[in-house]
């Protein structure tokens, strides 16, 4: 079965407000590191912030109307994060500051080398696919849609952090032609937005 057949019936489109409850359910199952300690409340606040903020980007994948995957991102990561902390000081400071206090704790956000997180970089906050929908090309399709959205904003590259030991994520990024290098707590993955993806075509 080729990739086109595997993906038949699956649509990727931008997140809307009506998707938030279902997407919060999926995030609660997959438990991305960012805002993890705040649970549903933190994930809901993050999604609303993405929708309300011109730096936020979110794409969902649907199968028969059901959300089966997502990719969340932001341009101008520092500005995006700063506005989140201003709007949600308790959630934001709890999540974003804790990492610096205790690097052994797995909450908060990973640190990025400054050079990879400049104004021309689009930051991937998290990509996730429901456990029953994996290895059908959904993660790759979400990344292609996010690459188009970031390109349209004039960004030059996408940047993602991969946690130590996340072999599925490492393979996904390598298969799609990202450059992966060791970084604190895992790997830094970057991909130029003017390069064709390895699985395009
Ligand atoms: C990582 C994740 C998003 C991949 O989504 P997916 O829809 O299964 O990915 P795709 O089907 O598009 O996979 C594309 C390619 O990536 C590689 N890949 C993906 N998952 C893999 C796995 N578990 N093991 C080995 N390779 C894998 C393969 O090369 C695959 O191509 P193939 O199926 O033709 O061999 C999914 O496993 C997930 O949601 N994991 C939990 C959340 C997470 O870790 N997110 C990443 C945070 S950085």
pLDDT digits (tens, 9 = 90+) for 79-127: 999 999 999 988 877 676 545 444 433 334 555 554 556 778 999 999 9
Ligand 1 center to 82 CA (angstroms): 31
Ligand 1 center to 134 CA (angstroms): 7
CA distance 164 to 104: 12
Bridge partners for 63 per DSSP: 10, 66
Ligand 1 center to 171 CA (angstroms): 6
Provide the 8-state DSSP code for 107. -
What does pTM read for this prediction? 0.90
Give the E-state strand segments of the chain in sequence order: 10-14, 56-63, 66-75, 121-129, 157-163, 179-183, 186-192
Mean per-residue pLDDT for 149-172?
A: 95
Count of C-beta atoms within a 10 Å radius of residue 154? 11
- Look-up: residue for tokens 């990492």? 99
Q: Which of 11, 23, 39 is nearest to 145 (CA)?
A: 11
Ligand 1 center to 54 CA (angstroms): 29
Q: What is the per-residue pLDDT across 137-158, written as a single tens digit (0 to 9) for each?
A: 999 999 999 999 999 999 999 9
CB 120 within 8 A of CB 155: yes
pLDDT of residue 195: 67
pLDDT of residue 8: 79
Mean per-residue pLDDT for 69-83?
A: 93
CA distance 60 to 27: 12
Name the helix (H) or strand (E) containing 5: helix 3-6
Protein fold of 3-192: Aminopeptidase (3.40.630)
Q: Which of 168, 183, 191, 199 to mutate to test the pocket of ligand 1 (most atoms within 8 A of CB)?
A: 168
Sheet containing strand 179-183, edge to edge, reads 10-14, 56-63, 66-75, 121-129, 157-163, 186-192, 179-183
Q: Which of 25, 123, 119 is nearest to 69 (CA)?
A: 25
CA distance 193 to 197: 9
Helices 20-30, 39-52: inter-axial angle, 10-degree rounding: 130
Percent of the chain at pLDDT exceeding 70:
82
């Amino acid at each position: 079965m080729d990739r086109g057949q595997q993906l038949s019936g699956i649509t990727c489109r931008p997140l809307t407000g009506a998707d938030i409850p279902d997407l919060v359910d999926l995030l609660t199952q997959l438990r991305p590191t960012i805002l993890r300690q705040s649970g549903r409340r933190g994930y809901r606040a993050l999604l609303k912030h993405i929708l309300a903020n011109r730096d936020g980007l979110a794409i969902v994948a649907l199968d028969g109307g059901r959300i089966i995957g997502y990719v969340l991102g932001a341009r101008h990561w520092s500005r995006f994060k700063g506005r989140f902390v201003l709007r949600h000081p308790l959630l934001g400071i709890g999540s974003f500051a804790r990492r610096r206090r205790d690097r052994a704790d797995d909450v908060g956000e990973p640190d990025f080398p400054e050079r990879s997180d400049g104004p021309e970089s689009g930051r991937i906050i998290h990509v996730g696919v429901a456990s029953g929908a994996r290895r059908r090309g959904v993660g790759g399709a979400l990344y292609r849609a996010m690459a188009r959205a970031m390109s349209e904003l004039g960004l030059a590259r996408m940047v993602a952090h991969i946690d130590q030991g996340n072999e599925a994520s490492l393979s996904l990024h390598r298969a799609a032609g990202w450059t992966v290098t060791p970084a604190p707590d895992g790997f830094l993955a970057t991909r130029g937005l003017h390069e064709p993806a390895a699985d395009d075509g």
